[in-house]
Chain A
Amino acid sequence: MKKFKIRGDITVVTVVIFIVCIVLVSVMFMQFRTIEQTEITQIETMRESELRTALSEWKTKYEELEKQLEEIDDKINEYNETIENNEETAKLIDEELKESNILVGKTDVEGEGVIITLNNNSKNVKAYDLIDLVNELRYAGAEAISINNTRVLAMTDIIDMANDTYIMVNLERLEGAPYVIKAIGNKEYISSILSLKGSGFIDRATTNGLTASLEVKNKIEIPKYNGEIKIEYMKELVKE
């Protein structure tokens, strides 16, 4: 009698264990599947603030493209209208060429901007100070820059020479300090960026032992690049 009761108990217990196991295992599987489903792409896991930044970034990029598209449409229309007339097309090409020459640095240019004078003080002006300044001017939206009247182009290098006794820009030897850097662009914006307290170039140069002064001008003239811009190694990528 006693033995039988134990047997009965065992059967009941086994069944219970079995059922509990099945339930638990199935719960676990369900959970695994849910977790698998929540593996989502990058955009999907962004937080709200990140999403907002991403949205505005894409929007700006899109608007930029729209502007480019409009410009190119205008050009195509102009060409189409004048394609019958050789003189008119020649004029269009002239205009496009003139515009791009201004940007490349093949023409003398003028406009509002700032003039920075950089001089030796407890330390001497080195190439990196000029690289840093040019970089900050570009950040502030400068459209044309010159150092001691040498035009700074996209591929212009600025290097220390002969144990830092002089500086070369575009492989041209600069007269020594003071260095006069001219930049054409939005004069208020450029001067405010450069004069930022502590982090702007003027304050940083002063802390680094140089003297730096900034003048805001309504008209600055910057000469063209005094040399030939050669292309020897790159060519247009032609896509099929």
Chain B
Amino acid sequence: MVKRKIAITLGIMCFLLTIALCVQIKTMDSASSTVSRTLSDNGLRDEVLKMKAKYDDASKELEQKEKELEKIRQAATQNDTTSEAKEKELKQNNMILGNIDVTGDGVEIVLADATVKNNLNPSLQIIHYDDLQLVVNELKNAGAEAIEINGQRLVNTSAITCEGNIIKINGERIGSPFYIKAIGSQSLLYGALTRAGSIIDWIKNDGNTAEVKKVDNITISKYVGTISHDYIKESK
């Protein structure tokens, strides 16, 4: 009797432990493939990290240099009223172009793909690039002065494109949820987006998330990249 009990207990324990071991070995298998990849790709990984560090350094340096230039420009124009006016216009141009960080009152919009999918038309339950184009167009119509989508400032060369199922703005990948910020007249912007039959309404009716709210002191950062021109010149 005692022997049998021991045998059974032993059997059950061995069985449980073996299962636990098997599960762990399986987990390890998938994890260790990462580990071995880590070893073989280490060089590449280091390069990426180094490049990123270099980028971060350069971007800090650029920020300082911009401040320096600003100071010099101001110093240079201090005792000269016409130059001062020009310097002011230059700054305004840079705000319009997206060369400097700006702040102001406006609206923030969140758009996100539907979480509960019904199978009637799955394509409608995703935010597409043309939805973003239409929302942006609506904001511009309501007098937006600066717009940003997921960190990408919209400038005069910004395109919202779709490659396969990836949306790109300024050549950078972005994905749902989309956070759109716009600075301008709060009442105009909010009114345009929340009126019945607006694009926001359409997006919401398809089951997607679309929220608009008024926000004070929105910050929109500058365009990452150079805005330059190689083909246009002033005509005589």
Binding site for B on A (CB under 8 A): 6, 9-10, 13, 17, 20-21, 24, 27-28, 31-32, 34-35, 38, 40, 43-48, 51-52, 54-55, 58-59, 61-62, 64-69, 71-73, 75-76, 79-80, 82-83, 86, 89-90, 92-94, 96-98, 100-113, 127-128, 131-132, 135-136, 138-139, 141-144, 153-159, 184-186, 221-222, 229, 231-237, 239
Contacts and interface: CB of A to CB of B under 8 A. Distances in A.
B226 A28 contact: no
B100 interface: yes
A31 B183 contact: no
Interface of A is mostly: helix
B92 interface: yes
Contacts of A142: 157
B69 A75 contact: yes
B96 A231 contact: yes
Contact of A235 (B32, B77, B103, B160): B103
Interface of B: 2-3, 6, 9-10, 13-14, 17, 20-21, 24-25, 27-28, 31-32, 34-35, 37-38, 40-41, 44-45, 47-49, 51-52, 54-55, 58-59, 61-62, 65-66, 68-69, 72-73, 75-77, 79-80, 82-83, 86-87, 89-98, 100-106, 130, 133-134, 137-138, 140-141, 144-147, 154-161, 183-185, 219-220, 224-235
Contacts of B91: 236
B104 A143 contact: no
Given A58-B55, A102-B229, A154-B156, A43 B65 contact: no
A138 B157 contact: yes
B156 A38 contact: no
A66 B57 CA distance: 11
A46 B47 CA distance: 13
A233 B14 CA distance: 73
Interface of B is mostly: helix
Contacts of B96: 104, 154-155, 229, 231
A72 B69 contact: yes
10 contacts: A40-B38, A62-B55, A65-B58, A89-B77, A93-B90, A107-B235, A135-B159, A138-B158, A155-B144, A237-B102
A83 B79 CA distance: 12
B97 A234 contact: no
A67 B51 CA distance: 16
A46 to B, nearest CB: 7
Contact of A233 (B49, B73, B104, B130): B104
Most buried by A among B96, B183, B184: B96
B226 to A, nearest CB: 5
Contacts of B52: 58
A102 B233 contact: yes
A93 B73 contact: yes
A159 B48 contact: no
B234 A72 contact: no
Given A100-B94, A159-B137, A55 B48 contact: yes
A46 B93 contact: no
Contact of A154 (B73, B79, B154, B231): B154
A62 B58 contact: yes
Contacts of A98: 234
